[in-house]
Structure 1
Amino acid sequence: MVQYGVFAAFLVIRILSVFVVKTWYVPDEYWQSLEVGHKLTFGYGHLTWEWSKGIRSYVHPLSIAALYRALAWLGLDQVENLVLAPRILQALLSAFSDYCFYRWGECSKWSVFLIVTSWFWFYTATRTLLNTVETCLTTIALSLYPRQYEPDSHKFLWIVALVCFIRPTAAILWFPLCIIHMRKSIHSVAELLIKRYLLIALVVGAIAFGLDSYAYDRFIVTPFEFFKLNVLEEVGSFYGTQPWHWYFIVGLPTILGLVTLPFFFAVVQTLQNREVYPDRFNLLIATLFTLIVYGALPHKEFRFILPLLPICLHITADSMKNWSRDASRITIWIVALLLLISNAIPAVYLSWVHQRGTIDVMLPIERIAREFRDTDGNQAKFLFLMPCHSTPMYSHVHQNVSLRFLTCEPNLNGEKNYIDEADQFYTNPAVWLRSHVPVHPKSAMPTHIILFDKLQPKIGDFLKNYKLIENISHAEYTDNRVGNHVLLYERIADVPPQKKPKEKPNQFNPPKKLDTSTPSTHRDEF
């Protein structure tokens, strides 16, 4: 039976987070979702190299494109709606997955408390990340996953098939869980493989394959292309590597926060009493297997293990439910308060303050793109001198203007001594600008420049042609390329000769003929 009040509470929290989470996290939040959806719907935009290589499935972007199409049909395709609508749609999915988490935890109060107060889930639950969708679908599937004392069910396999197609690495988590399912099922392994696993995989795969082939306009199996490029060729390592133990000592403890302590006690309790907690033990096996396999992959990020968050919180909630039966009321309140405060601080700071400038700067950029015209009547031309994909693009501008940014594609062609464009720029910004940006005539230069304040002293001569119009706070703690503020410059206009005021004639100063000629102009594109 659906408890609508509980679901409504989750929904209110997730909708609220849409308007609280105002910061930048990772480029994929926009470049693998909103930007793709915008390109599909409105016909202009930029697709990253992943889409030219066919390693991404269009299933998720097509849902955003459908939403954009509905907004356009209703005449509601203003920028604020294009930004908010996909996040609200994600909030609905996240709220439903929260409700499934609550039912999965047997309606435990600790389940509600831990999923609602989790700082990392609050930070990511309404972002348009494929990792967020993967986490939601994983939670829903786990809530349908049969337990030891429940009748055998195969409903979860439909969701597993979908999540593994759109995010192939999800198969790592589900591999041990499916093995466990086959071992404890009342059906034979052969029957399960043929009548359940293979059949469901073929149905879901055929639909997803058809959508991808239609979107790519060619026959393509995106999970295979993903595996070939990211695993066999290790393209992901181009964006940084971490040691094998990083997820154990940094990744998982960071996303759990202070919940790491009760989770550790729950793990010890489960291992000591595996016969008493068989479901917990199975989830720990899947978690450990995932961390080990992910640890073997060179490139690591916090968001990659986001689907493990609900599993760890479920194990913790089940343990704390048993603990609270014997604990005093004051102890329970102290523990709950400590967990709440320790999660609230990073949730608020990282969602509202840290790395906000690259999102806030898109507001004046959108206005300029809509209203600006230079002396020749041409639209604005923007140049983003920032680490690649530091900001959203057309999904937050919704104008077909020139948006030039530094690219950072991996070495896809096996070139010797390969250096991507962003690295070339930061090696010597002044030299790069002289070779890539025309300065004569002045109208050929970009009308607006966006950069971090750290770069400003290095390109001072170039910026003499521009005036600062926006200085937006970004972050207090940055790296060598990301600054504390985002700066928006506008090209200083070429001022045409002004008409002299008509002088009053007198006997000593006769009237002069006014020169009404204007200089010739030349239009060139940056």
Structure 2
Amino acid sequence: MIDARRLLRTRPLACALALRLGNAALVQTYVHPDETWQSLEVAHRLAFGYGYTTWEWRHALRGFAHPMLFAAAYRAVGMLGLDGTFLVVSNTRRRLEVTCEIAAVAAPYILVAAIAAAVDYATLRLARRVAGDDVAWWALLCSAVSWSMGSGVMRPLVNSAETALTAIALVYWPWRRPARAGRLPDARGSLLTALCFAALSCIVRPTSAALWLCAGLVLLANQPRSGCVSRSIRIVGAAAAVGAVAVAAMAAVDRVGYGRWVFPPYQFYLFNVHEGLATWFGESPPLYHAYVSMPILFAAMLPFVVHGVYTAYRTQSVTCEPAAVALGAAVLFSLAGHMEYRFLYPLLPIGHMYAAVSIASLAGPLLPPPAVAQPPKPPKRPRWSARRVVLYLLLTSLPPALYLNLVHQRGVVDVMAHLRRGAQAGAVTSIGFLMPCHSTPYYSHLHADIPMWFLSCEPPLARSDRASHYWEADDFEQHPADFVREIFAPPAEGEHPPASRHRRRRQRRARPSHLVLYDGMVRRIDRQLAALGYEESARFFNTHFSGDTRRAGDVVVYSAKH
């Protein structure tokens, strides 16, 4: 019989990986457009030669380091079977090709499982370094059951890879040891190792530099007075050297990806800061991260996080430096005009560690220490039961994670699986999406090289164009019936496209074999669809609620009558 506790103690990374592989099988929904459009779509194009790249990639605002990770996973799948010439029976070959196509869809999520497992394990190592074993196992549990980990980090977002690299760097960061700290295993850090992983996190997502700026300032501020200047010079010198190598590596990766020398962080700055267009995608209030992001990220664990920081400060048994770094990073991230809670994913390991500090102080150790010849004196009776705390964490964390992974916005994924099967059978030859842009995954989930289009929503590239900028998705929402009639109408004889790019225009398109739209829009253009020769052929439940009225209702597929 397998001893689960012993297995967890001896193979925590293997246990975390097994957990996240099972977690990956449960991710059947679509939460953030960036989880495919800024990662998998770009990687699919790199690996298979077809796919879609959004405007950010055409104007070099994004770096290729993150998509290249998934492109490698795609290449591995492609090398394992699509050209299996040893097969003779055609039906068997067909089954293999379909299996490989499904594997190509699933492969990125296996990589994401490894990324999330690395976060779990690094959280354990971080807590063990700064707070000891009793806190470390609670920290691992908090990370394992966290809905932000199970449904947020478990997606192919750049924030997920950034979180893993940040967590590993935090493990090696030279945190100050409090005077009242007990004996801690593996208490020494390695600044150079930490800087290398921090640099990798900045290569993947350059805005990660805000967190490491805070960590560097905290480190410099806490240097002993004796030899402070020389130590500070060495720290700054090491950071500058690693940073220079990281910038060179970033430039080399993007040179391969773009085929020319570019520097995406500068283009990102021009668009978001110089032109002030970050708020085109939504403007957030200054305290958004305080009263939206933090409650969403930690949910029912947030009281433990706050109490853990207070306990560490009051008892001086655990360093408060990570909390100071997290607070400073949250403040810097709050200076942006556009904010999303996933931008704070790198703070999850720190938050889970302090939640564990709180729980360990209230409920005692999660795993009892191994038996010894002369057991120590029995500890004081904890105020809370460890079993009840575990039950509380499970009941408050797993239901939302399961709902978000299995139910909420699953129709936009199910419809792509339906269309993929139709494309494999030759029944689906072209697809049009009459939906708000980026409502569904794209070629990464279809894995078939057929014509597809969706309603554009590219932002203006200059502040002066903001008022007059035209985007199809908004035009379709305002005038759906006229829009559909015009884009599918044959062009008039001698008609020419408008000369000015500022003039409102509707691009005509060939009628696809299938159209995809939300049920809320069907009621507004059902007559036009019937007149064009389309009829409903499939319908998929999407969600019980939506904050966006444009995405209300089921996902409906219309096919052209033959």
TM over 0.5: yes
CA distance in 2, matches of 1:20, 1:475: 16
Which residue in 2 is equivalent to 1:66? 72
Report the more deviating stretch, 143-152 or 383-392. Answer: 143-152
CA distance in 1, matches of 2:448, 2:459: 29
Alignment of 1:4-403 (within 5 A): 5-76=11-82, 78-106=100-128, 107=133, 108-149=136-177, 150=188, 153-184=191-222, 188-194=231-237, 196-273=238-315, 275-277=316-318, 279=319, 281-325=320-364, 326=380, 328=382, 331-372=385-426, 380-403=429-452
Give 1:215 deviation, angstroms. Answer: 1.4
CA distance in 2, matches of 1:432, 1:444: 14
SS at match of 1:458: helix
Match of 2:473 among 395, 409, 422: 422
Report the more deviating stretch, 305-314 or 364-373. Answer: 364-373
Equivalent residue letter for 2:385: T
CA distance in 1, matches of 2:189, 2:42: 42
Match of 2:511 among 437, 442, 445: 445
Q: Check whether the contact 1:438–1:445 (CA below 8 A) recurs between aligned residues.
A: no
Change (3 A) 1:283 1:234: farther
Give 1:52 deviation, angstroms. Answer: 1.1
Unaligned runs of 5+ residues in structure 2 are: 1-7, 83-96, 178-187, 365-379, 493-508
Give 1:158 deviation, angstroms. Answer: 0.5
CA distance in 1, matches of 2:309, 2:236: 32
CA distance in 2, matches of 1:235, 1:110: 42
SS at match of 1:386: coil
Which residue in 1 is equivalent to 2:539? 471
Which residue in 2 is equivalent to 1:517? none
Equivalent residue letter for 2:303: L
Give 1:96 deviation, angstroms. Answer: 2.3
CA distance in 1, matches of 2:13, 2:47: 32
Give 1:121 deviation, angstroms. Answer: 0.7
CA distance in 1, matches of 2:253, 2:140: 37
Equivalent residue letter for 2:284: Q
Q: Check whether the contact 1:79–1:395 (CA below 8 A) recurs between aligned residues.
A: no
Q: Check whether the contact 1:166–1:223 (CA below 8 A) recurs between aligned residues.
A: no
CA distance in 1, matches of 2:15, 2:190: 31
Equivalent residue letter for 2:558: Y
Q: Check whether the contact 2:408–2:543 (CA below 8 A) recurs between aligned residues.
A: yes
Alignment of 1:454-493 (within 5 A): 454-464=520-530, 465-478=533-546, 479-493=548-562
SS at match of 2:433: strand
Give 1:289 deviation, angstroms. Answer: 1.6
Which residue in 1 is equivalent to 2:93? none
Unaligned runs of 5+ residues in structure 1 are: 374-378, 494-526
Identity, in percent, stands at 32
Report the more deviating stretch, 251-260 or 96-105. Answer: 96-105
CA distance in 1, matches of 2:406, 2:234: 52
CA distance in 2, matches of 1:146, 1:412: 43
Which residue in 1 is equivalent to 2:455? 406
Equivalent residue letter for 2:58: S
Change (3 A) 1:241 1:151: closer
CA distance in 2, matches of 1:330, 1:3: 23
CA distance in 1, matches of 2:359, 2:164: 23
CA distance in 1, matches of 2:197, 2:260: 26
CA distance in 2, matches of 1:269, 1:471: 53
CA distance in 1, matches of 2:361, 2:307: 12
TM-score norm. by structure 1 comes to 0.87
Q: Check whether the contact 1:165–1:223 (CA below 8 A) recurs between aligned residues.
A: no
CA distance in 1, matches of 2:116, 2:510: 47
SS at match of 1:391: coil
Give 1:70 deviation, angstroms. Answer: 2.3
Give 1:327 deviation, angstroms. Answer: 5.3
CA distance in 1, matches of 2:245, 2:382: 52
Change (3 A) 1:211 1:152: closer
| Alignment: residue pair count | 482
Which residue in 1 is equivalent to 2:496? none
Task: Report the RMSD for the aligned CA atoms in angstroms.
Answer: 2.2
Equivalent residue letter for 1:168: P
Q: Check whether the contact 1:34–1:395 (CA below 8 A) recurs between aligned residues.
A: yes
Give 1:440 deviation, angstroms. Answer: 9.4
Q: Check whether the contact 2:169–2:194 (CA below 8 A) recurs between aligned residues.
A: yes
Equivalent residue letter for 1:340: L
Q: Check whether the contact 1:56–1:166 (CA below 8 A) recurs between aligned residues.
A: no
Equivalent residue letter for 2:553: N
Deviation track 1:31-73 (CA, whole Å, cap 9, x = no partner) reads: 1111101111222221001101111110111121122222222
Equivalent residue letter for 2:540: I
CA distance in 2, matches of 1:73, 1:109: 40
Give 1:271 deviation, angstroms. Answer: 4.4
CA distance in 2, matches of 1:98, 1:268: 24
